[in-house]
Amino acid sequence: MSRRPILAGNWKLNLTVRESLELASAVRDKCARHRDVDVVVAPTHLALHAVAQRLADSPVRVAAQNCHWADQGAFTGEISPAHLADAGVAWCIIGHSERRQFFGETDDGVAKKARALHDRGVLPIICVGESLDQRDAGQTLSWVTGQVKAALAELTADEAAVSVVAYEPIWAIGTGRTASPEQAQEVHAAIRATLAELYGRAIADRIRIQYGGSVKPSNVKTLMAQPDIDGALVGGASLTADSFAGIVAHRAED
């Protein structure tokens, strides 16, 4: 089945509001001709509304990097799915390994966030991935598929179908190391098989699965050639418009 690729740039804790607007404008201009893919940028929370306004008339969509599952309440420092929807945000990254590692994100919390985002019309990009120790111990597939099952536990089949799963091996994030296309495909295939167990093959074939972990213009084409890799969640290479546009343009010569 042909799935529309989705390329998302996670800007992490980088760029001021002014710098975010400049980069968003450059991405919009450089990626405008690539209408056969979905392009998403994820600035810091402070820049979300401004970037969403800047990109409102373009096909480039905006993602938040995290959220809380509550719409409101005594949760100092958090941002809610209701806030994101009001700001014009289309997507939200949840369960990123940095959130799990440094801020205590749990599988249960990811599931609650996925549920809350759908309730507000914001689509989740649900991150899963293993550590180097887990890979070396042969636990990759059981660990990652367990994360998938937990994260989607509260979603219906139709909601899962329009969500995105992002496989990011922790050992490849920001390290310059990248899983080989074959390693990535093995995990993506296992994720899709798990989705078929949960929702049936027809729904599983609709769900897009991104790869993340040191994706750059020089390796994106070989990764995207794999049958179960439907996009990329890009970190450092998304911080310059030329580099990110090179990733978005991976099909230009196909």
Residue 148 to residue 162: CA distance in whole angstroms: 15
Q: Which of 32-36, 170-174, 244-248 has the lowest mean pLDDT?
A: 170-174
Mean of per-residue pLDDT scores for the chain: 95
Structural domains in the chain plus CATH codes: 6-251 (3.20.20.70)
The pLDDT value recorded for residue 171 is: 84
The pLDDT value recorded for residue 253 is: 52
Residues designated catalytic: 96, 168
Does the CA dihedral 4-241-85-128 come out positive or negative? positive
Reported as a single tens digit per residue, the pLDDT across 216-236 is 999 999 999 999 999 999 999
Q: Which of 89-103, 168-182, 191-205 has the lowest mean pLDDT?
A: 168-182
Cα distances (Å, whole numbers) of residue 8 to 156, 166, 179, 201: 24, 10, 18, 25
Give Dmax (Cα) for the chain.
51
**Whether residue 45 has pLDDT greater than 50:** yes
Q: Which of 16-25, 29-38, 114-123 has the lowest mean pLDDT?
A: 29-38
Residue 98 to residue 126: CA distance in whole angstroms: 13
What integer is the mean pLDDT of 152-174?
94
- Cα-based angle 159, 167, 247 (whole degrees, multiple of 5): 100
**Whether residue 254 has pLDDT greater than 60:** no
Residue 79 to residue 126: CA distance in whole angstroms: 17
